[in-house]
Amino acid sequence: MFLLIFCQNVKKLNALKGFVFFEAVFIFKNKISFFKDIVIRSFGLILFYQFYILLLQIKK
């Protein structure tokens, strides 16, 4: 049971890392109002992750 939860968390972390990496590349390509972009995107990422966790809880 613990291992299953651990594996799911690793998967989530890997997905999150991939998402963050993609966002970082996207920001570096565009470099428009760099810091504002990072703030908005990180805020959006936090909201996205909260929503994702909520969806997982609903599915159970």
Is the pLDDT confidence value at 55 over 80? Answer: yes
Alpha-carbon distance values, 15 to 19, 21, 31, 32, 33 (Å) = 6, 10, 24, 26, 26
Top pLDDT among 44 and 12 is at 44
pLDDT-based confidence at residue 19 (cuts at 50, 70, 90): confident
pTM of this prediction?
0.35
Is the pLDDT confidence value at 5 over 70? Answer: no
Average pLDDT in the chain = 73
pLDDT at residue 32, as a whole number? 59
- Percentage of residues in the chain having pLDDT higher than 90: 0
